[in-house]
Structures are given as C-alpha cells and as structure tokens.
Amino acid sequence: MKKILVTGGSGLIGSALKKISSNYSYEFIFLNSKDADLTNQEATKILFDLHKPDYVIHLAANVGGLFKNMNYKVDMFEKNLMINYNVIKSCYENNVEKSINCLSTCIFPNKTTYPINEDMLHNGPPHNSNDAYAYAKRMLEVQTTIYNNEKDTNYICVIPTNIYGEGDNYSLENGHVIPALIHRCYLAKKNNEDFIVKGSGKPLRQFIYSQDLAKLFMWTLENFREKTPLILSVKDEISIEKVAILISKEFNYEYRMKFDTSFSDGQFKKTADNTKLMNLIGDFQFTPIEEGIKNSVKWFIENYDTARK
C-alpha cells in the first residue's frame, strides 16, 4: 500500500483529510509539529528517512489571520521559507513520486485585474498587509517549478481560497476571519456584550469548507496531470458582513452585532477564478456556506475546552 505523508496533519486541512482518509486505499501518516521541527533541516531529513513516503501532502506552515501577518513579518517570512525548503529538498532526496503543496490566494498581486487566475501569480507585489507570508509562499512555487524543470519531479502547488471548518484555530488574535468571529460571538453572548466585528464588513472573500478542500486535495493527487499551479476554490464571493450575520444567527445574537471601523479591512477583494479546476473536475458539489458555518459553530461549542484558541 502506498504511503501519503501529510505535514501539518493536525491543522484544519489535515484534520479534514483524516476524516475522509478511510475512503482511500493509502496508508496515511499525519504529522504535526510535535513529530519534528520542519524549520530544522536535519530533523526533516530524519522524519522522511523514517517514513519513506510515496506521496506528500505539504500543509505545514506558520499561518495566522490579518493581524498576525501584519505584526510578525520576520517570523512569518523566515519560518515558512525554512519549512518549505526542507520539505521539498527531503521529497527529492527520498524519491517522492508526487507532492501537493499548499499556497494561498493572498500571495497574488495586490494591484491586478479580477478574477485572478493561475498565470497571474507573480505579476506584481502582494498586499503589504501580508507580504512577508506571501513572498515565502511564492518561493515555494518557484522552488517546486525549478525542481520539476531540472530534476523532472512531480511537485504541484495548489492555491485554496479562505478555508474554514471544524478543528480550525479559533484564536481571537491570530485566527482567520470565520473562526475568530465564531469565538468572538460566543464570548459576546456569554458575557452579554456587543458582538464586535473588526473593520467595516465590506471586503469580499471566497470561503471553502475544509472537507470539500480535502476531497479536492485527493483529487489533485490522483488525477491532476499538469505541473502548474491549480486554484482550489468556490466561485461565489461573500462579504465579511454577511459571514458575521450567518455566525451571529447561529448564536441567536444578530441584534447585538456592531462594526469597529478603526480596524483595517486589509485587501478589499481577491477574487479567484476556479474555471481551470471546474473544467477538469466536472460537477463537484461544494458545501453551502450556511451549512459549513452551522457545522463549525456547533463543533466549537461542543469542543470549546479543547479547541485551538
């Protein structure tokens, strides 16, 4: 049985992959930061030598929401560069047949035309709010392309839009927008306070449910034959305001929602074009965001004591 090594295996996408892994005929090895420090080259080499994977799904990264990206740029840049360098080098040294490597739509140019597609990745600098993380992730795409061209490897970069779902990081300061809003609304209702949404609520985003994304990762591993990046995304955008309303309704607390416009909105929109994916995959049914948020809120309430936050 072929082995799939999953870095970042306890994170949001890794947890979703674990939930669906029994549907596939592979031996899955889910790793987390306790198994090895991937910023350390020797530790990464030992890990790969131990498991000898046939395939790698590389999810491990130093990640966070807008405010972490703005305030810890050196950390975001250096750690992600080291993680990606070590993982790709170890893939090559261990003859990994194929790797799927996770990027993000935030790495696209700030000043661009919309929708953005796979060919526009390096057409200009990213938004300055997350440029350190974005450049580190761009270098992962550069590194895999160089290996593919020179060493004839099969390393693929996929570009998900904003991910959410059960098992997310619900940190108020460093979590992404949906889990942070869920946590904030939970506390607001518990303490009988206003539910404060940072920013104006006007920015638009495409959100993909983590279990949908996990299925798309596996489809990419098994079916995607190109060596070029692939955007994994829903088509439709939704405003942060609408997301906050959906969350507040799950808590029956929408009447106490307010916006604090003293906080930055970040990039107004970064619409991604999923045409390439849909032309290849056909009729894929994405989970409606109403259902995904309902599941995410329910999970957080039921797992409040142990949830990452």
Residue 67 to residue 77: CA distance in whole angstroms: 15
**Catalytic residue numbers, as ranges:** 133
To which H or E segment does residue 84 belong? helix 73-93
pLDDT tens digits for range 131-168 = 899 999 999 999 999 999 999 999 999 999 999 999 89
pLDDT digits (tens, 9 = 90+) for 235-253: 999 999 999 999 999 999 9
Mean per-residue pLDDT for 122-136?
A: 89
Q: Does residue 47 share a domain with residue 8?
A: yes
Q: Domain limits at 123?
A: 3-163+206-232
CATH (domain of 73): 3.40.50.720
Reading phi first (left if > 0) and then psi (alpha if -120 to 50, else beta), residue 52 is in left
Rounded Cα–Cα distance for residues 57 and 109 (Å): 25
Centre a 10 Å sphere on the Cβ of residue 195 and count the other Cβ atoms it contains. Answer: 21
From CA 144, how far away is CA 14, in angstroms rounded? Answer: 21
Assess if residue 309 is contained within a domain. Answer: no
- Residue 246 identity: L
* Percent over 90 (pLDDT), the chain: 74
In degrees rounded to 5, what are phi and psi of residue 123?
A: -85, 10
- Tell me: do 228 and 285 sit in the same domain: no
The pLDDT tens digits for 17-38 are: 999 999 999 999 999 888 999 9
pLDDT of residue 174: 73
This prediction's pTM? 0.91
Inside any domain, residue 66: yes
Does 133 share its domain with 242? no
127/225 same-domain check: yes
| Residue in this structure with the two tokens 């060493």, named with its chain if needed | 151
At 49, which amino acid appears?
Answer: D
DSSP state of 116: B
